[in-house]
Structure 1
Amino acid sequence: MPKGKEENAAPKTSGAVDKRSLLNPHQVGALLTWIAARPRTGHRLTAFFATLYYASLRPEEAVALRVEDAVLPETGWGELRIHTAEPEVGSHWTDDGDVHETRHLKGCAFGDTRTVPLHPDLVRSLRSPIERGQLKPGDLLFPGEKGDLLAGSVYRRIWAKARKAVLSDHEFNSPVGKRVYDLRHTA
């Protein structure tokens, strides 16, 4: 390889998950319990984080979910029908100045849908914010406080506070659960 080419090449990245970032079930339970105790938004955000962990969703998939995308029977298993994502790309990178951009599912063909089974416990967890917020089929499953898309800054901030409150100093200073996305990796 000619001199200089190597210097300008993009750094190689690993596709492997850093096992140091994975949470154990006790840690996840304690974090969800702490978040659930938050007065205004705890019930919604607990269901959001539980969906990332138990259904292995990406945050941008979960914020895009509508009530009609969830099949939540009174008893038994349910399912989520994932068909779109709303990643935060920044308002200066979108045509309409919006912070989020609607995209198809990562690694899937345009228009593909992914069906995710839901354990009965998660079904009950998801029914609660729908009933509490009196959400309709076209409404976001995890709305922000004003009914719009749940902002990444909001869920990242509460996640950081929960980690600080729940984890030991050693765990907090380690990579364990440092990013919200680590819930998906843990799943």
Structure 2
Amino acid sequence: MRAIVYSRTSHLTDRQRSSILDWAAEQPQNGLALRAFLASIALAALRPKESLALRVRDMEFADDGRGWLLVHPQAPERCEKDSDCAGDVRRVPLCRQLATILKEEAIRRNLRPDDAIFVLDDGRSLTAQIYRNVWWQARAAILEADEIDLSLGRNVSDLRDACIAAWLKNGDQTVAHILAVAEWAGMSAPRLAERFAPCLRMPTRDEIPWDQIEAAMALPDLPSDSKSAPQRP
């Protein structure tokens, strides 16, 4: 069964996301570290706090250049309202582009398995204030004035939203696919459908499971040998 579109929305495009990552990489201080951090949000839909918690040991690479990121549950007091904090470690698909960026970052800084992936070049922690300032600068440098006025990409987490939207739009949008995207994003399927309804297309008439709907709504057949109700005297 397909999901239904309710309204329209807009997310950062692939071109805008790529331009922002390129802009970050070109910065004279911490450029490559910032590019890698933003890429983990833009290409794996991680929350910023989840990215900062990643260790080298949390990366799994496959022979085809892809892989997985192992995202550990956050403490309950740090969970976002759209997340499912309880449960096992979340496995998030790692595309070739992000896998290459993370491998290069680990080699560049000679990281060990227990090291955090995203820190500044001098070893200091990458704080929210630092990456937000960089984000605002990148947004101002890349987006058009009217896009900024429309609040496009207002927060770093908009990179995450754009990635989730791309996962939904580029899939077959079956129930199984939507459930998989919800699991990758670390949120419930109902919350995903609510927040990203405009990314789910309207089913065609041929795709609507009429037989299943009619069967579910059909009244039970009355037994043919049922006795008539007794008559009052």
- Kindly name which structure, 1 or 2, has the bigger radius of gyration based on alpha carbons: 2
Residue 44 (structure 1) aligned to one of 29, 33, 41: 33
The structural deviation recorded for 1:108 is 3.0
Which residue of the partner structure matches residue 3 of structure 2?
none
1:65 is the counterpart of 2:44? no
Calculate percent identity across the aligned residue pairs.
36
The separation in 2 between residues aligned to 1:85 and 1:25, in whole angstroms, is 29
Contact 2:60 2:68 in 1 (8 A): yes
Task: Please give the secondary structure, in 2, of the residue aligned with 1:179.
Answer: coil
Q: Residue 27 of structure 2: SS of its match in structure 1?
A: coil
> What is the aligned residue count?
157
Contact 2:56 2:116 in 1 (8 A): yes
**Is contact 1:63–1:85 with CA below 8 Å preserved after alignment?**
no
Partners of 1:51 and 1:34 in 2: how far apart? 15
Q: Counterpart of 1:158? A: 134
Equivalent in 109, 127, 134 of residue 86 of structure 2: 109
Q: Which runs of 5+ in 1 are unaligned?
A: 1-15, 88-100
8 Å CA contact retained: 1:70, 1:78:
yes
- Counterpart secondary structure, 1:178: coil
What SS does the aligned partner of 1:115 have? strand
In the alignment, structure 1 residue 29 sits paired with structure 2 residue 6: no
Name the structure where helix makes up a greater proportion of residues: 2
Distance 1:74 1:36 in 2: 26
Which residue is equivalent to 1:127?
103
TM-score, with normalisation over the residues of structure 2? 0.60
Contact 1:27 1:167 in 2 (8 A): yes
**Cα shift readout 1:7-55 (whole Å, capped 9, x = no counterpart):** xxxxxxxxx99934x1011111111111110122111111111111111
Paired with 1:153 and 1:146, the residues of 2 have a C-alpha distance of 17
Does the 8 Å CA contact 2:73/2:90 hold for their aligned counterparts? no
1:59 maps to a residue whose letter is P
Change in Cα spacing, 1:86 to 1:135, as seen in structure 2 (3 Å) is: farther
Query: Structure 1 residue 81 and structure 2 residue 58: aligned?
Result: no
* Deviation of 1:146 (Å): 4.6
Give how far 1:148 is off.
4.7
Q: Is the 8 A contact 1:35 1:42 kept in 2?
A: yes
